[in-house]
């Protein structure tokens, strides 16, 4: 590989059931994960003799440009060297897998170019990295290592972040119960977005309540999404603070983005399709 340009899409947890905790402290999860077609970071990799990282974009502030960054650790763990340029369009500390998706995009690009990746490298970088390497709708279980591809209809959605970072550790610490029911063993086949949204409404994000306790702004974002025209359902993604709502059409999602964006110009609002 001489140069590669990569898209790292936002990761959205349609559901997130916390089903237990191992003796080593890792939480067990059962989650439906999808990816945004029109929302994500961008990377440019140019092979060279040494590793470097430059970060730009609207959410570049505060993003490390050294081995603290998952992108750096992914490239280093894969034994690759060169210049990496990361353009941040996704807010960080937002529950949409920005750093994990960035790292996964690097690993995916290297693998596509025939680069051998050490076994277990994705999971060593974080629980969300393996599913982000897969990069398609999936059921994620265990501590993130158990990935099962699923078939979902394209889901028109609005993604919203109220501009507050939520530390994942604080959210898990505030979790009242760590032994909750998983999703049903067999997932239904959905005829369309309305059918899927109705089923999702019966599922959960077990981190939503503790995240709201840490950052009450999440409740305002959820309230605005749920009251927006034609919204089918709304939920927080990951450990927060980003939230999403599903709509019957992408046009309806864009209309909601216009309305909510006009009321909250400081919020990050993106209409997209999930899949």
What is the C-alpha separation between 243 and 127, in angstroms, rounded? 20
Rounded to the nearest angstrom, the gap between the alpha carbon of residue 125 and the centroid of all alpha carbons in its chain is 15
Q: How many helices and strands in the chain, by DSSP H and E?
A: 9, 11
Is the previous residue joined to 241 through a cis bond, with omega within 30 degrees of 0?
Answer: yes
Per residue in 208-248, pLDDT tens?
999 999 999 999 999 999 999 999 999 999 999 999 999 99
Report the pLDDT value the prediction gives residue 1, as an integer from 0 to 100.
59
Q: What is the pLDDT of residues 62-91, one digit of tens each?
A: 999 999 999 999 999 999 999 999 999 999
HEC string of 211-265?
HHHHCCHHHHHHHHHHHCCCCCEEEECCCCCCEEEECCCHHHHHHHHHHHHHHCC
Give mean pLDDT, residues 127-144: 97
| 266/260 Cα distance (integer angstroms) | 10
Known active-site residue 128: yes
In the prediction, which pLDDT does 93 show? Answer: 86
Q: Across the strands, what pairs with 11? A: 35
CA Rg value for the chain: 18
Tokens for 105? 């995009």
Average pLDDT over residues 99-116: 95
Task: Supply the pTM of this predicted model.
Answer: 0.96
Catalytic residue (choose from 30, 128, 206, 224): 128
* C-alpha neighbours within 13 Å on the C-beta side of residue 112: 13
Kindly list the distances between the CA atom of residue 160 and the CA atoms of 28, 184, 217, in Å, as whole numbers in the listed order.
26, 28, 11
* CA angle 271–217–225, rounded 5-degree value: 35
The catalytic position among 11, 41, 88, 102 is 11
Cα→Cα distances 180→9, 175, 200, Å: 29, 11, 17
Domains of the chain: 3-149 (3.30.230.10), 155-274 (3.30.70.890)
Q: Is the pLDDT of residue 265 over 70?
A: yes
């Amino acid at each position: 590989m001489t140069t590669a340009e990569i898209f790292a899409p936002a990761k959205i947890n349609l559901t997130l059931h916390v089903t237990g905790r191992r003796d080593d402290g890792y939480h067990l999860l059962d989650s439906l994960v999808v990816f945004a077609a029109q929302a994500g970071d961008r990377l440019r990799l140019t092979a060279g003799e040494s590793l470097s990282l430059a970060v730009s974009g609207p959410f570049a502030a505060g993003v490390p440009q050294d081995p603290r960054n998952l992108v750096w650790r992914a490239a280093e763990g894969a034994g690759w060297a060169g210049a990496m340029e990361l353009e941040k369009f996704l807010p960080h500390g937002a529950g949409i897998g920005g750093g994990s998706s960035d790292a996964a995009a690097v690993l995916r690009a290297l693998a596509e170019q025939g680069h051998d990746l050490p076994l277990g490298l994705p999971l060593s970088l974080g629980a969300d990295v393996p599913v982000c390497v897969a990069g398609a709708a999936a059921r994620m279980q265990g501590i993130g290592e158990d990935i099962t591809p699923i078939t979902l209809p394209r889901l028109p959605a609005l993604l919203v972040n109220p501009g507050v970072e939520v530390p994942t550790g604080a959210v898990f610490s505030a979790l009242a119960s760590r032994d909750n029911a998983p999703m049903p063993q067999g997932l239904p086949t959905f005829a369309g977005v309305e059918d899927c949204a109705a089923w999702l409404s019966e599922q959960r994000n077990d981190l939503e309540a503790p995240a709201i306790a840490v950052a009450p702004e999440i409740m305002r974002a959820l309230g605005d999404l749920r009251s927006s025209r034609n919204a089918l359902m709304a939920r927080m993604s990951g450990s927060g603070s980003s939230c999403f709502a599903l709509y019957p059409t992408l046009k309806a999602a864009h209309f909601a983005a216009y309305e909510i964006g006009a009321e909250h110009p400081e919020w990050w609002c993106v209409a997209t399709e999930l899949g």
